[in-house]
Amino acid sequence: MPSLFLSQPLDLRATLLGGQTFCWNEKVDGSFAGWIEGKRVQLQVREQSLHWNEPTVSPASIQSFFCLDLDLPRTLGEGGQDRWIQIATHTHPGLRPVRDDSWECLVNFLCSSLKQIVQIQQINARLRSVFGGDQGEFPSAEVLAQAGEQALRQCALGYRARHVAETARIVAQARNFLTIPTSLPTSSAAQYLEQLPGVGPKISRCVLLYGYSRWDAFPVDVWVDRLIRELYFPRRRKPFRFEELEQWSHEKFGSGRGLAQLWLFHWYRTRPRSPGAKIRGK
DNA sequence: TGGCAGGGGTTGA
DNA sequence: TCAACCCCTGCC
């Protein structure tokens, strides 16, 4: 069984089930089963090492998937000095950003609107079992384009089926559509992705953050808006406009603002609450 | 057990 | 600015 020594903590549950990637589930023995680079793999952390069961998955792939080479304090930069970021990173030192496949990431987040994490995981599993390869690999753009909207609706995509089918058609036709040069600024890359049907500001940033490792992509959803108002603007009741938070996050957290969002979001969603205070959603 | 509200967004009017 | 879009979960 291959393994990798961990020089820093790795919290598999927070990282794999927290809403970055959607093809993982936890087993009774505490291991996590899912997919890395198209290969089915089971992971477990024991004695400061990460162990996995699939010998054809290389340590380099694991290293890359969990961004273990990322210098977090350096990437967070000045944003790391923020009080709430410090609390969040100290509370969840094992949380990592993932480097997901950009196509699968795009489909996952196309399916995410008004959906909870569990539901997105179910859709991912259905797409794999209905349209995926022999081993359950995630279906390609060509396959989903071929499948069409009606067949996708059978996988509980609802109105999102049209977006996925149409996006799959565009991506399948333009072979390199999802190849985004690293020289293209993140704001331009977001605009580029937003040409796709069903991709707005939130989804484009999620895909750039988790599918392209753009650490300056700052996805804003109702939870991020809520936590920013509660932590930084406690007197404010009115939700922010997207542009306001885009600007604010830039000034507050700088070029690592996507990672700042990841930790803040996770900490906010999992922090202990006073009795009676309900955490809604996932 | 069943009804109902509401949810991590985007689109088009 | 706002309704419409689907379906599932949690709660009563």
Task: Give A10-24 pLDDT, tens digit per residue.
Answer: 999 999 999 999 999
Task: Give A181-220 pLDDT, tens digit per residue.
Answer: 999 999 999 999 999 999 999 999 999 999 999 999 999 9
Amino acid A157 CA to nucleotide C6 C1' distance, rounded Å: 7
State the nucleotide closest to A157 in CA–C1' terms: C6
Using a pLDDT cut of 90, give the percent of chain A over it.
Answer: 78
Q: Within 7 A of a protein CB, which nucleotides of strand C? A: 5-11
Domains of chain A: 3-69 (3.30.310.260), 102-211 (1.10.340.30)
State the nucleotide closest to A223 in CA–C1' terms: B8
Burial of A125 (0-12, 13-18, 19+ CB in 10 A): middle
State the nucleotide closest to A242 in CA–C1' terms: B9
The two beta strands, A49-52 and A25-26, are unpaired
pLDDT at A181: 96
Global pTM value: 0.95
Give A239's pLDDT tier (boundaries 50, 70, 90). confident
| CA atoms of A105 and A24, how far apart (whole Å) | 13
Query: Of all protein residues, which has its CA closest to the C1' atom of C11?
Result: A280
pLDDT at A62: 97
**Cβ burial A104-118 (10 Å sphere, 16+ → b, else e):** bbbbbbbbbbebeee
Amino acid A156 CA to nucleotide B2 C1' distance, rounded Å: 22
Return all residues near A45 (Cβ < 8 A) that are at least 6 apart. A6, A10, A12, A51
Strand, helix or coil at A40? strand
User: Is the pLDDT assigned to residue A37 strictly greater than 90?
Assistant: yes
Q: Please count the other Cβ atoms lying within 10 Å of the Cβ belonging to residue A214.
A: 21
Q: Please count the other Cβ atoms lying within 10 Å of the Cβ belonging to residue A23.
A: 22
Q: Which of residues 135-194 of A touch strand C (CB under 7 A)?
A: 153, 156-159, 162
State the nucleotide closest to A225 in CA–C1' terms: B8
Task: Give A108-152 pLDDT, tens digit per residue.
Answer: 999 998 888 888 998 999 999 999 988 889 999 999 999 999 889
pLDDT at A22: 93
Q: Which of residues 103-142 of A touch strand B (CB under 7 A)?
A: 112-117, 119
pLDDT at A175: 83
Amino acid A116 CA to nucleotide C3 C1' distance, rounded Å: 22
Instruction: Give, in degrees to the nearest 5, the angle at Cα A167 between A211 and A220.
Output: 50
